[in-house]
Amino acid sequence: MILKNKQPNISFGNDLPQHPEKLKQIRDLIRDYAAECELIPPLQEEEVIFHSGELIRKHPELFLYQKLLAVMINNYAWSHIVAGIPFNRRILLLPKCISHSTQCPAKYDELGLLCEQCGRCDLAEIISQADELGYHTIVTEGTTSASLLLSSGKVECVIGVGCLHSFERSFPLAVKEAVPSLAIPLYNNDCKDSKVDKIWLDEVLSMRSEANWKGWINLDSIKYQVKDWFATAQLKTLFGQDDDTVNIAIRWMNTDGKRWRPIIMLAVYDALTGKSGEYDDTIQKLAVSIECFHKASLVHDDIADEDDERYGKPTLHKEYDIPVAINVGDLLLGYGYQMIAESEAKHIRKLLKVASYGHRDLSLGQGEELLWRNNGKLLTQEEILRIFSNKTSPAFEVALQFGAILADADENILNIISEYSNALGIAYQINDDLDDFRQTSIVSGFNTIQPSLVSTLLNQKHPQKMQECFDRTQNGDESINTEFLQWKETKQAMKEAEEMLYIYKRNALKALRPLNNPTLKILLTRLLNRIVPGNS
């Protein structure tokens, strides 16, 4: 039976006062409340809930408007930043349901309704007002284009009009991407002939402070800048020697890679200093040093894991041989420290300490994993998380700390970054593990799945399954490589790992709460989502 007739199951508690005066009154209350406590965006969902709870405690009559309060609190947190964003960098999202439900002559494209401004509904007036100011307006149907825009990572500011339902849907996305955004709820939730409080909308649309907010970090343009530094000629000048081994190292540095670490370093530096695109030789050398450490660890990792390919090409020890590869890795480590020493940075000692601690921890994490492989005993959950924390977190931490140290950040910020990187690194590694299990078959056999959180979780609950996998692999039974991924026990373990991934992502965000620099808070929130994507 495919047609079913269920009653609507939409939850209530999302009332909205139907008068502009009442709405204004609540906005004023929130302004007074926010004056007492500092609201640094982006606020996490729990923070918004906490503040709306506080407000209701002070003004019990507001309990009917819980969701509205959440929207307004979030708006307030963003308002100062939004006011600093030029109108022509803002996008206004209007809902299609404002249009006349039967007589709207407009056509649609994939982004939404193409308003002809016929005047049958309020859209014409709103759009011409927004046009005059310089907004980019989209009349959307549902939340698809809103989601797309928010997740594109290229939008600097969004003003959204919609029903409270739709905000519930898009709020998590706006938080994840840390896009400066303001929301204005519709009076009704009927999805047709909707009305919005024009006084409020007007207030928001025309909000503009004299100074521009300079905190939007354009990751794409940083990426572009960084690319130049890894061109062969640039690296040759930096490394300063013409030698066969050096040339192999330069080619390995030059080969693809996302350059996440240098990008992160520059982004943090930009966020803290408020400058962008102004990078001197010191910064360049430090960015290259970070990449040297990273690329060295990849060469050595590929040898240890017996991987034949990276970036779709033969790994260095496959192209040459293992001794050559080990030596090139070592050379890059040397260059890494050399670049720091010759960077003429103000805090060379601090930088050296961060780099060497990162180097040491990585080797300890890697060491624990390698020694485990020798004794064949399965790891516990604690052990595996410790390995992750040692093995993956330092790489991010070094990059983040370098950016912060260069910008003269205080201890407080360095500590927050430390806590954030630890959670970020673990989340990254869990996600990386999960990727191996999201395939249809295990790519390079037992070694890929063994030192992973998923197999550890599986082994904890179903040791006999893990044993079966082990035995069949030992006996050369290749069907296990596909079958293993289809077991419901494996899928269950993946689900648990996904839940842990979610927890570590949350921990990373929690670490950011005490940050009172919105620019850095916004950046690190965005980075988390870029480095560890996913819906959670």
Give CA separation, 133 vs 99, 140, 150, 462, 489, in Å.
22, 20, 22, 62, 57
Of 6 and 349, the one with the shorter C-beta distance to another protein is: 6
Q: Are 512 and 424 in contact (CB under 8 A)?
A: no
Interatomic CA distance for residues 72 and 75, integer angstroms = 5
Instruction: Determine which residue in the list 29, 54, 56, 141 makes contact with another protein, applying CB under 8 A.
Output: 141
- For 338, the token pair is 């050399």
For position 190 contacting another protein by CB under 8 A, the verdict is: yes
For position 166 contacting another protein by CB under 8 A, the verdict is: yes
For position 124 contacting another protein by CB under 8 A, the verdict is: no
Instruction: Determine which residue in the list 24, 27, 169, 491 makes contact with another protein, applying CB under 8 A.
Output: 169
Q: Are 536 and 498 in contact (CB under 8 A)?
A: yes
For position 276 contacting another protein by CB under 8 A, the verdict is: no
Instruction: Determine which residue in the list 116, 228, 281, 478 makes contact with another protein, applying CB under 8 A.
Output: 116
Of 40 and 191, the one with the shorter C-beta distance to another protein is: 191
- Apex 415 CA angle, 410 and 417, nearest 5: 100
Contact window for another protein (CB under 8 A) among 85-93, 235-243, 305-313, 406-414: 85-93
Give CA separation, 370 vs 302, 387, 390, in Å.
13, 10, 13
For position 258 contacting another protein by CB under 8 A, the verdict is: no
For position 6 contacting another protein by CB under 8 A, the verdict is: yes
Give the distance from CA 238 to its chain's centroid. Answer: 32
For position 223 contacting another protein by CB under 8 A, the verdict is: no
Q: Give least dist CB 392 to another protein, A.
A: 28
Bond before 42 cis per omega within 30 degrees? yes
Q: Which positions ≥6 away from 277 have C-beta within 8 Å?
A: 221, 225
For position 1 contacting another protein by CB under 8 A, the verdict is: yes
For position 111 contacting another protein by CB under 8 A, the verdict is: yes
Contact window for another protein (CB under 8 A) among 86-94, 175-183, 410-418, 430-438: 86-94
E-assigned strand segments in 65-191: 91-95, 107-109, 112-114, 136-140, 158-162, 181-185
- For 190, the token pair is 């009927």
Which residues in the 8-37 window bind another protein by CB under 8 A? 8-10
Of 169 and 223, the one with the shorter C-beta distance to another protein is: 169
For position 438 contacting another protein by CB under 8 A, the verdict is: no
Q: Which residues bind another protein (CB under 8 A)?
A: 1-10, 88-89, 91, 96-97, 101-103, 105, 108-111, 114, 116, 118, 136-138, 141-144, 148-149, 152, 154-155, 163, 165-166, 169, 190-192
